[in-house]
Each structure stands twice: as C-alpha cells, then as structure tokens.
Amino acid sequence: MWLILLTSVSFASDNLIKEAATSYTVPSFSSKQLVVEGQDLLSMSGDVDGLGAINGQVALIYNQASQTAQETTSFGNATTIYATNAGTHQLSLAAEEVAAFSRLRYGDDPRGMYLATRGAGGFGKVADIQPLGDVVGGVGVGYGRVIDVRTLVQAQAMFDVLDRSPSARQLQEVAEVIGRRGEYAQKYKFDADIYFYKDIAKALGGADTAQVYKIQQVLDSPLYNIGSRYTGWQAGADFDAAMGDFFNGDAFGVTTRIGVGGTYAMMLGSSSVLLPVSVACIVSEGATQVLTSPLSGGKCSEGFTIALGTGLGIDHSSSWNTSFAAGVSQTYAVAPSLAMSSVESFVEVSSNAAVGSDLVWTNAFKSASTTSVGGPPTLGWDFTSTITYYIF
C-alpha cells in the first residue's frame, strides 16, 4: 500500500513539473561586479640565510551578466599582475589581460529563431620576454531551445519539505528566484543568503526559521542530489575564427572552423534524456592560441568529424541521483576516397547518494578510447569512490 501511495505521489510531482516546464523559459536577472583579488597577494619564505622566495599576485576582475527570456549576455574581464623571484635573484613581473563576451538573442518567440555571438581575447607580457596576444570569436544561428528545468525540481523539493502542494505557477515563481541567486551575490555580497532565502520563503508562501534551514538544505546540502532535467530541442550552424600570435610574425596565423548540430531532450518521469549530434571541421589552421581556448577538430581538407552523444539523468529520490553520458566521434577522410580514419569514444557514469543524515556516498567511472586506422587502439579509464559517514 505504501509503495502504491509513494508511486502515485511521485507521478503527480513529475506531471506537475512537466506542466510547469511547458511554459517555463529562463529566469530574468541582471548583475555586475568589480572585484580586487589577491590570491596570494603576497607570500614569502626563507631560511637561516634570509629571504628565499617572494611571490605576489593581484587581479582586477569585472563580470557583467543579464538574462531575459529573449536575450542572455555576459562579459568578463580580468587584469592580473604577477611578481616572483623564482629562478632568479631579482623580482620579475608578468601581466595578463583576458576578456570574453557572449550573447544569445531570440526573437519574439523565446524558443524560436536565435542568433549567438561570442568572442575572447588575451594579452600577456612576462619581464623582457616577447608579449603574447590572441583572439577568438564566432557566430551561430539556429532554431529552438533546450532548457534545464532543475530549478523546478528543486522548487518542488522545497514544497515537499513544507508538506505543501504547489501549482505549476508557484513552482515557476520559486524557480525564478532560485535562478537569480547570482544576482543576490552581486547586490548583497556576504549578506546574499539572508536576502535570497527571505525571498525564497516568501515565494513558498511563508516559512518559519526551522523551515528556512530545511529549505536551504535543498540547494546547499550534500543530503540533496537533484540532477539536471532537460527539455526541448534545437538545431543550428556555427562559424568560429581565431587569430594569434599577434606579436610573433613567424607564429602568427588564422584558424577557422565550421559546424552544424542539434540536440533533442525529453523528460521521462524523474529522468531526462539528452541526445546531441554535431558535424564540424577545421577549414584553415594556423593560429597560435595561448590565452584563449584553441579551436579543435579535424581538417575539412582531410575529412570531417561526426559526433554523437547521449546523456541520461535519473533522480531516484531527492537524495540520490545517477547520471550517464556517452559519446562517439568518427572522423572520415575524403581523399583519395571516403573512408573512416579514426574513432573516439567515452563513457561517464556517476552516482551521488545520501542515506539519512549520516552517510554520503559518491561513485564515478570514466572511460575513453581512440582507434586509428593502421594504429593500435588506446584505452584509459578511472574509477573513484568517496564516502563520508558520521559514526557519532
């Protein structure tokens, strides 16, 4: 009887989350923050002979982000200065400037046609060594949207803690506040959680002090392991280009990449399935990128790469989640005839569980392999298991 009751309650919650997800887009927020960081601002060590090593670092970091149903933008900039006497008897300085931006813009339909733009650039100088500099940027167009509605599941868990039955609209309201948590950190700094959980309690219909502590566990405690839950689909095409190294004529070059792909996601009860597919290749290759992420892939002149993948997340309960991901990419040569030249694959499985409030157990397995025509296959794997158990 209890099994039937629990199953019916679970199905009711899953159906409510699906109902809320049909009209849920993304939370709206806006934040910007300028921070001075020194990690470590200064560190010194020595011995009986005196000062041995001195190191210092200071960074000026600016981050700005905003999101609405139609547009998501972000910009980040970090200027860092390092000082060290490592390997020398005199202090040497190094400076690094890195900036990155991204913008995703939809039309009137927040799940319709979109335009994506992105870019990053960096400049670095170490003592008397020749400076470094490189940039990368891209544009993408497509249709559709895949949304992670994990915040709706977290909202449902909060209502369960309070033993309340929410409507789909109430789930959306609480999920909206959860999705804006970063905005609280920018606005209230170290007092962010005070205001954040105050607004969470209000969206839940009120909560006393003891209940607020229980609500906080849903987001911050390892006793809750709520995984991502995806829904929707999208398809599009991308073009990216990179240039570098600007200050070394012999190493300067340009790299370009083109690609098309798509993703389909669906929710199955307390689980979600993610199915991505992409085809991409490098049109030209020549950029030396040190401060920005290099463009990767096989050369179009030599062939093309098709990548297929799948992701599965299962919430067995609010305290036990298992995720599975796998993918395979096949590279095909086009000359002198079409033929497969290599295959790469990977598998990842992880499970996080809390038993009561005394035991937390995490297990993860990863495996990757590469097979090239005419060469021996390679295989690497690792398994980790961690456990925390409070005896008393």
Residues 183 and 319 in one domain: no
Q: How many CA atoms lie within 13 A of 208 on its CB side?
A: 1
CA–centroid distance for 253 within its chain: 29
Domain final position from 220, 250, 270:
220
Would residue 118 count as lying in a domain?
Answer: no
Domain final position from 204, 220, 236:
220
Q: What is the pLDDT of residue 41?
A: 87
Domain that holds residue 327: 302-392
Query: What does the alpha-carbon distance between residue 241 and residue 218 come to, in Å, rounded to a whole number?
Result: 42
Domain final position from 202, 220, 238:
220
Residues 155 and 19 in one domain: yes
Would residue 63 count as lying in a domain?
Answer: no
Would residue 176 count as lying in a domain?
Answer: yes
Tokens of 58: 């200071």
Q: What is the pLDDT of residue 88?
A: 62
Residue 292, SS3?
coil
Would residue 210 count as lying in a domain?
Answer: yes
Query: What does the alpha-carbon distance between residue 350 and residue 362 come to, in Å, rounded to a whole number?
Result: 7
Q: What is the pLDDT of residue 299?
A: 79
Residues 21 and 158 in one domain: yes
Enter the DSSP assignment of 110. Answer: T
User: From first to last of its 392 residues, what are the pLDDT tens digits of the chain?
Assistant: 333 333 333 446 788 888 888 888 888 888 888 999 888 888 888 877 777 788 899 999 999 999 999 999 999 999 999 888 876 667 788 899 999 999 999 999 999 999 999 999 999 988 778 888 999 999 999 999 999 999 999 999 999 999 999 999 999 999 999 999 888 888 888 899 999 999 999 999 999 989 999 999 999 888 888 888 899 999 999 999 999 888 887 778 999 999 999 999 998 888 888 899 888 888 888 888 888 998 887 778 777 778 888 898 988 888 999 999 999 888 777 766 767 777 889 999 999 998 888 889 999 999 999 888 777 889 999 999 999 988 88
Query: What does the alpha-carbon distance between residue 248 and residue 32 come to, in Å, rounded to a whole number?
Result: 35
Q: What is the pLDDT of residue 4?
A: 34
Would residue 355 count as lying in a domain?
Answer: yes
Residue at 359: amino acid letter: L
Tokens of 321: 């989640």
User: Please, are residues 139 and 115 in contact by the beta-carbon 8 Å criterion?
Assistant: yes
Would residue 390 count as lying in a domain?
Answer: yes
Residues 167 and 309 in one domain: no
User: Please, are residues 323 and 349 in contact by the beta-carbon 8 Å criterion?
Assistant: yes
User: Please, are residues 83 and 73 in contact by the beta-carbon 8 Å criterion?
Assistant: no
Burial of residue 381 (CB within 10 Å: 0-12, 13-18, 19+) is exposed
Q: How many domains does the chain have?
A: 2
User: Please, are residues 141 and 116 in contact by the beta-carbon 8 Å criterion?
Assistant: yes
User: Please, are residues 306 and 279 in contact by the beta-carbon 8 Å criterion?
Assistant: yes
Phi-psi region of 297 (alpha: psi -120 to 50; beta: other; left: phi over 0): left
User: Please, are residues 265 and 230 in contact by the beta-carbon 8 Å criterion?
Assistant: yes
Residues 319 and 179 in one domain: no
Query: What does the alpha-carbon distance between residue 124 and residue 222 come to, in Å, rounded to a whole number?
Result: 40
Q: What is the pLDDT of residue 78?
A: 94
Q: What is the pLDDT of residue 87?
A: 62
Would residue 161 count as lying in a domain?
Answer: yes
Would residue 272 count as lying in a domain?
Answer: no
